[in-house]
Amino acid sequence: MKQKCVAIAAALALLAPALASAEVKVGILATLSGPSADVGRDQYDGFLLAVEQGGGKLGGQPVRLIKEDDQARPDAGLAGVRRLLELERVATPYFATWTVGIVFAMIAAFMPLNVLAELINIGTLSAFTLISIAVLVLRRTRPELPRAFRCPGVPVVPLLSVGFCLFLMAHLQALTWIAFLIWLGIGLSIYFLYARRNAVLHGGQVARGASRKSPETR
């Protein structure tokens, strides 16, 4: 049972890297020698079995297992951690991912599960609503834009998506809406006060709103 749980947890944890088409690096920092060598052996063997049963892959992605003997000294295992953080070559926002993950993990540690679940729901539903609206807007304003995937049934499908998302959001608690509006206000403030003025777009053109024109329009 423990091995099955490890396999399921590993598959879920590695879903995002799999979708990003990046090689999955799994670090195992453990004492491989000395009197504490058998500590955590069940979990270690369970993960190895899960990878083996998956043909060396999880979510369709190759798995690289990194073992680092810390020799019962935490500082000796730092090399393995550094190797896990070498993600520049996949061009993914690894720093932002770690930062957001740590912040929300701390929030989840001190927040009731039902409140956290509703906050996640309203955040996800609002994101889906904005995406559906963006599909409608871009289909009309940028019809020539290359698209890897085209939403079928426009405008019916996006409108149905907006309607269902708003319907579900309307049934959430008032406290959830208050927290969502506060969080949204903070995000908009950061965007308009900093991000919009410092965003680098289209090969180095700095977005300054209407005050600066791109070289193509000059």
Tokens, residue 54 = 């998956």
**What pLDDT is attached to residue 49?**
73
Q: How far apart are CA 155 and CA 157, in angstroms?
A: 6
DSSP string, 65-80: EEEEE-TT-GGGGHHH
Strand ranges inside the chain, DSSP E:
24-30, 57-58, 61-69, 200-201, 205-206
This model's pTM is above 0.85: no
Q: What's the number of CA atoms in the CB half-sphere (13 Å) around residue 12?
A: 6
Extract the residue ranges of the chain whose pLDDT is less than 50: 2-6, 12, 15-21, 202-218
Express each pLDDT in 1-28 by its tens digit: 544 444 555 554 554 444 444 555 555 5
State residue 158's pLDDT score.
Answer: 94
